[in-house]
């Protein structure tokens, strides 16, 4: 034994984890044991064979590719809206919205809900977000329901600018705060919202 079986198996796991493309033969060479030993190790650790590993990586990539942000024009379901006054939407945090590592919702989804509600509440053909000032108050987790409440604060017809305040809650708890400055209609500058 170059080292103990346990030591080798631990290193084996790490080695394969950071390079799934390595063959049993290369592993045998690296650990100075026979190919059969490597295979026994893989069995004991339930590590699949090279081709299965590669396939798995490839499949993961293909399924993850389609997962950025949804296409619907509003993120979340608008449950109430009074144009140019206020609006409410709900958004259920699902697996595809969270970091796989820790189950915490990725901030841009929470932002997207608020931002898209700010757009929706504007009573105009075209509303674009020009500026935003946002604050994530606490993490949102998979399974939680985020309720976003938008309030139109100030309509300055003079410069086609409207300020919308959005507060998002999980239950009674404030999780997100944002102040969006929106341009409306025939403005030339500013991006969407």
According to the binding rule CB under 7 A, does residue 51 interact with DNA?
A: yes
Enumerate residues 149-188 that contact a second copy by CB under 8 A: 175-176
Any contact of residue 107 with a second copy (CB under 8 A)? yes
DSSP state at residue 97: G
- Looking at 80, 108, 154, 173, which residue binds a second copy (CB under 8 A)? 108
Tell whether residue 19 is a contact of DNA (CB under 7 A): no
The answer to whether 76 and 148 are in contact (CB under 8 A) is yes
Local structure of 73: helix, strand or coil: coil
* Cβ-based burial of 127 (10 A; exposed 0-12, middle 13-18, buried ≥19): buried
Q: What angle do CA 152, 154, 159 make, to 5 degrees?
A: 125
Among 11, 13, 15, 37, binds DNA (CB under 7 A): 37
How many chain residues are in contact with a second copy, going by CB under 8 A? 59
With CB cut-offs between 5 and 8 Å by kind, which of DNA, a second copy, none does residue 157 bind?
none
Q: Do 141 and 132 contact (CB within 8 A), yes or no?
A: no
Residue 153, Ramachandran bin (φ over 0: left; ψ between -120 and 50: alpha; else beta):
alpha
Judged by the rule CB under 7 A, the positions of this chain that interact with DNA are: 1, 5, 8, 23-25, 33-34, 36-37, 39-40, 42-43, 48-51
Judged by the rule CB under 8 A, the positions of this chain that interact with a second copy are: 20-21, 51, 54-55, 57-62, 64-65, 67-73, 75, 96-97, 99-102, 104-112, 115-116, 126, 128-140, 175-176, 189-193
């Amino acid at each position: 034994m170059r080292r103990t079986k346990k030591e080798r198996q631990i290193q084996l796991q790490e080695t394969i984890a950071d390079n799934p493309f390595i063959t049993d033969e290369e592993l045998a060479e690296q650990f100075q044991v026979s190919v059969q030993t490597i295979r026994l190790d893989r069995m004991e650790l339930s590590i699949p064979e090279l081709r299965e590993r590669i396939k798995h990586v490839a499949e993961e990539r293909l399924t993850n590719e389609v997962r950025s942000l949804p296409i619907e024009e509003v993120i979340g379901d608008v449950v109430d809206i009074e144009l140019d006054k206020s609006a409410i939407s709900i958004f259920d945090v699902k697996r595809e919205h969270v970091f796989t590592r820790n189950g915490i919702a990725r901030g841009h989804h929470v932002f997207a809900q608020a931002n898209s509600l700010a757009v929706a509440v504007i009573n105009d053909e075209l509303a674009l977000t020009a500026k935003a000032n946002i604050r994530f108050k606490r993490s949102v987790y998979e399974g939680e329901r985020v309720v976003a409440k938008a309030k139109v604060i100030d309509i300055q017809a003079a410069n086609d600018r409207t300020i919308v305040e959005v507060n998002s809650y999980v239950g009674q708890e404030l999780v997100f705060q944002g102040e969006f400055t929106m341009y409306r209609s025939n403005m030339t500058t500013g991006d969407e919202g």
